[in-house]
Amino acid sequence: MTDRKLARRIARTHLERDDPLGWFEALYATSSGDPACIPWADLAPNPNLVSWLDEQAVEGQDRRALKIGCGLGDDAEELARRGFATTGFDISPTAVEWCRARFPESSVEYRVADLFAPPAEWARAFDLVTELYTLQVLPPRLRDEAIERVASFVAPGGTLLVVCRGREPGGDQGAMPWPLTQEELDRFFQHGLRQISFEDYVDQETPPVRRFRAVYGADVTER
């Protein structure tokens, strides 16, 4: 059984129980410490994040960053390496402990937290918020609330980076991960963010994957 098949089986089981978030911890726990069981764990920073940071010459000194769904920690560590005071969170306690074990000397604050019930002190608290591949593994019925929560973390004057699989409206959603439409991402506008850039491209994986990479900004004035 491939790692994605395992993830899909566990996700399907939890969705049938009306437990759409429980499968994350179940997957990490079932992996028994083998990163090959985690489809999104490449043990390296996401190249879509790295290329954007490089292209924009992003510097993190005296700025706070939040990594949503920190997984095994590579993206959070990359943000910290670039000078951000970084918080990475995941709903899976096993994932968070895995991060701490992989990076015992890390400056990243790894936290167990639920996107749908985040700590109150995170509201509008981060200069850079990164959401890579989390929305696409949430059932579509949860996306409106998830988008609202993601937007709520962005500080006045801050930036949100979103990377996800993309599809046309009415196109086949297929199996998890479920691609998003541009119209779904436009819902960030309803929560006080403006679009800075939007890229629709084919990520040269095997097989190739259509992706959206969108950047949003929050006005300096209080939202």
Question: Residue 114 has what DSSP assignment?
Answer: B
Is 134 a member of any domain?
Answer: yes
pLDDT at 170: 86
Is 60 a member of any domain?
Answer: yes
Q: What is the pTM of this model?
A: 0.94
150 touches 89 (CB < 8 A): no
Task: Compute the distance between CA of residue 181 and CA of residue 59 in angstroms, rounded to an integer.
Answer: 30
Residues of the chain with pLDDT under 50: 1-2
Is 3 a member of any domain?
Answer: no
What's the CA angle centered on 64, arms 128 and 42, to 5 degrees? Answer: 65
Is 52 a member of any domain?
Answer: yes
Structural domain span for residue 54: 42-218
pLDDT at 172: 79
Is 20 a member of any domain?
Answer: no
Is 5 a member of any domain?
Answer: no
For 45, the token pair is 């920073």
Question: Residue 80 has what DSSP assignment?
Answer: H
pLDDT at 207: 85
Q: What is the number of domains present in the chain?
A: 1
Is 206 a member of any domain?
Answer: yes
Domain with 129 in it: what CATH number?
3.40.50.150
Is 37 a member of any domain?
Answer: no
pLDDT at 7: 87
> What's the chain's length in residues?
223
130-158: per-residue pLDDT in tens?
Answer: 999 999 999 889 999 999 999 999 999 99
Where do we find the tokens 């993309």? Answer: 166
